[in-house]
A = this chain, B = another copy of it.
């Protein structure tokens, strides 16, 4: 239904609109959103046309209504129970991230393989052994599994998560997970994003030079 590029932008809209709320802004125009998110006004209006929302000529969108429409689409007001697998630094960073709750997510269990870590506390939860995952996880009524495990372990954990009935996976490992069609995977490509930087930097350097040349030629 919603094109993926639009889905990707929705969290940004919401995040920005929530900031505007703190500033007491009542009306938001496509121009304001376009400027804040680095888009064109056309794109913004196209995106918002997918939502359950109507704007007002000469004013824009009522902030409260826009926020509500975004919250509905992203299901922010429902609680999404998630299980965290991997209690390393990355997993810990996520588990302790205060904004999770703000966006409707709740980590209801943490699993880890390391006997040293199993039994310790993390964000009010006790880390459970991965050995108990298959038995325990289905009882937790969680639909999302967050994989903060080494690359080598990721596919095996994903398989267990699928078998346990999870329908969404947030993958923090550097690998392509193979899952059945009905399971959604969202990849956080931290290392890949770092690897892109040299390419992007070269690109920026080149286009900056070109701009300067153009400016010089014009002068």
| A residues in contact (CB < 8 Å) with B | 1-2, 7-8, 10-12, 14-15, 36-38, 73-76, 78, 80, 88-90, 92-94, 96-97, 99-100, 103-105, 143-144, 146, 167-168, 170, 172, 174-176, 181-208, 211
Contacts and interface: CB of A to CB of B under 8 A. Distances in A.
The count of identical subunits is 2
A63 B147 CA distance: 30
B181 A186 contact: no
A143 B195 contact: no
B2 A176 contact: no
A158 to B, nearest CB: 14
Contacts of A192: 8, 11-12
A208 B183 CA distance: 9
A145 B187 CA distance: 23
Contacts of A146: 194
A206 to B, nearest CB: 7
Given A96-B89, A204-B167, A193 B199 contact: no
A191 B80 CA distance: 13
Most chain B CB inside 10 Å of its own CB: which residue of A144, A181, A184, A208:
A184
